[in-house]
Structure 1
Amino acid sequence: MADLLQEDSGEAHNFGHKEWDQLEESFINAGYREGITDGKEAALQEGFDQGYALHGVPIGREIGRLRGLASALLVFLKKEKSNVDAWVPPLEHRPGPSDILNEVQLLVQSFQQISLSALLPPDTKAILHAKEHEVGTARGSVDLDQLAADQGQIMETTRQEVNQLRERLCAIITQLGFEETLHV
């Protein structure tokens, strides 16, 4: 009987040790996962903060300012439509008041269609990360280098469009004689 108790006590001790080891491993794995998650979140937040300050705010502010100017000018021109004739007499080489109103309406629509994400530089870190984890199946694979190049091209094209819209808006503001008060 004493042998049986020693055997039971030894098995209980081994079982307790195994259970403890499993519990310890479980906590280690959970701590590791939490550490990885916290590290990713910290890096993500830092990247967001940097991108927001360097790109998001300045670009968003500029687009917002241009949208606001175009919208305010449109409201003003609609309200003062009869008075615009006195400011902008139609000449052979210059559009008349209704042409200016139509032009400003098109500018407002064009500014509303601009996507801020198309003006931001490609997220190279995200592309590199995706490339590291890329699964190379023939049907599902994406050429990430081409994707980055495409995003860069979209950004450049959109910036050129914004510059053209800005120039058109400035020309109309100048034509109406507001350039000194609006600081375009």
Structure 2
Amino acid sequence: MDSPWDEEISNDAYNGESHWQKIASDFTNAGYREGITAGKEGALQEGFDSGFAVTGAPLGRDIGRHPLPLLPPGALDELRNIAAQLADIRFSDIVPPDLEAEEHAREHMRTEGEALEMDSEELKDKKDVEGLEDLLAGMSASGNGKERKPQRPTMQDFEVVKKRLEALVGTLGLQIQLS
């Protein structure tokens, strides 16, 4: 039979190889996540650039060149109401879920577990903060003591506000396309 030293050497070799495999896997996963993040940031920047060039800058120039007409009665109140409703809408309220990203996250949770617990903890913290925001928004100044659960705006709510804004913009004689 071999000496006990041979067993220790083979265990060390096995542990070393296992360690290197884990490191390689960690770097591969980190690189994959970095690639996804970079891709999303690139798409976000491209969307901003396009929106600014097509909508933001031309609208700003148009408004800057032409003085605004006198506001019809109630228009300022309507504009304030629209702005308040838009301020309550989060991107996550109206964007469809990214099913591919969700599946990818589930796959990593199955294979890595530990590394994604941090990500899921961050998501949990974000949801907790959003829940507190919703709770504060649901509190009324009337003090009637009745608690109501605030309901997040939906895509349909956004479309209604968008139509109201389009109507108001048309009333003011401005020509913009909200898409």
Normalized against structure 1, the TM-score is what? 0.49
Distance 1:158 1:20 in 2: 63
The structure-2 alpha-carbon separation of the partners of 1:6 and 1:133, relative to structure 1 and needing over 3 Å to count, comes to same
Distance 1:129 1:35 in 2: 25
1:77-108, Cα deviation, whole Å (9 max, x unpaired): xxxxxxxxxxxxxxxxxxxxxxxxxx97x79x
Quote the residue 2:53 is aligned against. 53
Quote the residue 1:5 is aligned against. 5
Runs of 5+ in structure 2 lacking a partner? 84-90, 100-126, 128-148, 175-179
Quote the residue 1:42 is aligned against. 42
Quote the residue 1:154 is aligned against. 164
Q: In structure 2, what residue type is equivalent to 1:43?
A: A
Please tell me the root mean square deviation across aligned C-alpha atoms, in Å. Answer: 3.9
Give the greater-gyration-radius structure (CA): 1
1:1-184 to 2 correspondences below 5 Å = 2-66=2-66, 69=67, 130-132=95-97, 142=152, 144-163=154-173
Return the offset for 1:161: 3.7
Q: In structure 2, what residue type is equivalent to 1:130?
A: V
The structure-2 alpha-carbon separation of the partners of 1:37 and 1:141, relative to structure 1 and needing over 3 Å to count, comes to farther
Distance 2:152 2:79 in 1: 26
The structure-2 alpha-carbon separation of the partners of 1:51 and 1:128, relative to structure 1 and needing over 3 Å to count, comes to farther
Greater RCO structure (CA 8 Å; 6+ sep): 2
Higher helix share: 1
Return the offset for 1:58: 1.0
Return the offset for 1:42: 0.9
Return the offset for 1:145: 2.7
Give the number of equivalent residue pairs: 115
The structure-2 alpha-carbon separation of the partners of 1:62 and 1:127, relative to structure 1 and needing over 3 Å to count, comes to farther
Following TM superposition, where does structure 1 have runs of at least 4 consecutive aligned residues deviating by more than 2 angstroms? 126-131, 139-145
